[in-house]
Amino acid sequence: MVNRSLNVENDPFRPCEENEEILGPEVPYMSAIGGLMYQANCTRPDIAFATNLLARYNSSPTRRHWNGIKHIFRYLQGTIDLGLYYPRNSEFGLVGFADAGYLSDPHKSRSQTGYVFTIGGTAILWRSQKKTLVATSSNHAEIIALHEACRECVWLRSMTNHIQKASGLVISKEPTKLYEDNAAGVAQIKEGYIKSNRTKHILPRFFSYTQELEKNKEVDIQYIRSSDNAAYLFTKALPTSTFRKHVQNIGMLIMSNLVKLEITTLDISGNNYMRWAVAAKRHLKGKRLLDTIDKSKSPPEEDKANAMIFLTHHIHDGLKDEYITKEDPADLWEALKDKFDHQKYVILPKAKHEWLNLRFQDFKSVAEYNSALFGITSRIMLCGENISDYDMIEKTLQTFHPGNVLLQQQYRAKGYTKYSELMQVLLVAEQNNEIVMLNHQSRPTGSAPFPEVNVAASNYNNYGRKRDRSNDRGRGRGGYGRGQGRGRGHGRKFGPNDSTKKNNKRFNRNEDGRAIKQHENACYRCGMKGHWSRTCRMPRHLADLYQKSQKEKETNFVYGEPGPSFDGLNDDTYLDIADFIVDPEAINDKQNE
């Protein structure tokens, strides 16, 4: 874009000198800068550094600077159909690149900071800016660039997560990869603040913030070679070949060629090789050219030429230069396979790990779970392994919430043989609020026991003869709530539902020995603990069922005599087996009498 000499005195973009004439208002320098800045910020990141460099001299432009403006305009005119291409079937993955140009402005000892973030290999956010802080070394400048890129990354992650959530897509919890070409800076961030004579003057905030993001696994800073760092485009004046390489690396393509693409271009990194190979085979088969990539076959030369044209047209320009000597499509296919087929050994273990940890109960909606499941299974099948409908059905049913065992058994009894049939039923159930609630603060129906009332008190007369170990007051031998003993005589036995029974009230003792009543955090709407009625998310039909059960209590067993005493139980709904065991000593006393 712009050429700069290593000699400061010969730099055509050096500041205005005393003997140079400053351009007057008749030259629309600032208007031209404004137009270029609009292009650089919106659709043309390839001119960001050159525009930023020339914008420094808005107050005192010279003829040299104006020539640079015209050079950028000529470049734009020659690349008028160059733009950012966002393929619809690219993998969603946020990746960042950061770089710094040490002493980009040697006259004021200022450095240039640049970073770019891509999704699916195409730039979505970039910046090229001269720093106001003087960096004392290239390492110092790179650490500042990492700090600035991390600040932007936090906001960008939040925005992309919000868009994915609103669109019903699966939100990735993996850290964002941020590449930097300064090995010393990467080591300092990875290992912690290293105090030495060359770094002790650097402000700790440039280390601490980036290290905290690295520790919290929000970013993953990795080293990359300078020749592969896409942020180089935003910090330095590059040679033509390097400039074109980085323009392609940020996803800029000639738009006039897009109509000719039948499949997605194979990326230079090979990240999309598995999908590209499947799509390429499908199209070659449709063109009756599949035999051309099989070395055991002998197709006509015309078919070989057509297959070669198709393959070279759908690979990255960098790969075209690498395999320019290949003339046989079978040789080109094998070369690409040898170069990128190893990726399945990286993709397959990761996909299997995600499959093992996939659980239906972890998702807020059926559609979100379905999207995640197919994303994992497609990667597994691209690597050569098969996932059947039976496997997907079992994975779904086995990962229901433990409280939904009854629903799981009901769906399993239906005997579904196709995963799509089960999904249709689950989607209908979701709309009826039976499986998953769309509100993330609600838990699935069945995640906690249903509120039931299984105990009722009998209306027997509790005045009568009594021979039992008791804590009850009574006239006769025994205790009146003060010790255990056999009581014979008329005494009132408090029933478990008696409102005057003190044991039903929960008390606690403070330091002074006074009784303090403990209030239960129970919702009167649904009977569950842990939330109040105003935040209750229980479905209305279940809440009505609970309220009705409170008014008309179901009688599953009745307290009566003779039998064991249930006094002293704080929870009449869930009883322990020990409460039904009669004390042997009491039986012996009864026999002795």
Report the C-alpha gap between 161 and 167 in whole angstroms.
10
Q: In what order do the strands lie in the sheet with 110-119?
A: 122-130, 110-119, 94-105, 176-180, 219-223
Number of CB atoms found within 10 A of residue 189's CB: 25
Whether 255 and 82 have beta carbons less than 8 Å apart is answered as: yes
176 phi and psi angles, rounded to 5 deg: -80, 125
Residue 86 tokens read as: 């966002």
Helices 366-382 and 344-356 cross at an angle (nearest 10°) of 150
Instruction: Determine the Cα–Cα distance for residues 585 and 591; give it in Å rounded to an integer.
Output: 10
Tell me, what amino acid is at 593?
E
Would you report the helix, strand and coil content of the chain in percent, each value rounded to 5?
Answer: 45, 10, 45
**Tens digit of each residue's pLDDT (9 = 90 or more) over 444-485:** 433 444 444 444 444 444 444 444 444 444 444 444 444 444
Length of the chain: 593
Nearest to 293 by CA among 266, 328, 319, 336: 328
Give ∠ CA 320-323-327 in degrees, rounded to 5.
105
Task: Report how far residue 528's alpha carbon sits from residue 536's, in angstroms, rounded to the nearest whole number.
Answer: 9
For the stretch 458-467, contacts whose Cβ atoms lie closer than 8 Å and that sit 24 or more positions apart, written own/partner, are 458/495, 458/558, 458/559, 458/560, 460/560, 460/561, 462/492, 462/493, 462/494, 462/495, 463/490, 463/491, 463/492, 464/490, 464/561, 465/489, 465/490, 466/491, 466/493, 467/590, 467/593
Structure tokens at 275: 């999908």
Residues in the chain where the model's pLDDT stays below 70: 1-18, 193-195, 259-260, 433-521, 552-593
Residue with the two structure tokens 């808005």:
58
| Domains of the chain listed by start with CATH number | 8-80 (no CATH), 94-248 (3.30.420.10), 261-344 (no CATH), 358-431 (no CATH), 448-593 (no CATH)
Both structure tokens of 392: 């997907």
Contacts with 262 (C-beta within 8 Å, 6 or more apart), sequence order: 283, 310, 314
Q: What is the 3-state secondary structure (H, E, C) of 41-56?
A: HHCCHHHHHHHHHHHC
| Spatial CB neighbours of 484, under 8 Å, sequence gap ≥ 6 | 469, 470, 471
| Tokens 């738009």, located at residue | 255
Whether this model's pTM surpasses 0.85: no
Instruction: Compute the distance between CA of residue 123 and CA of residue 230 in angstroms, rounded to an integer.
Output: 10
- The pLDDT, as a whole number, for residue 563 is 46
Query: Residue 557 has what pLDDT?
Result: 42
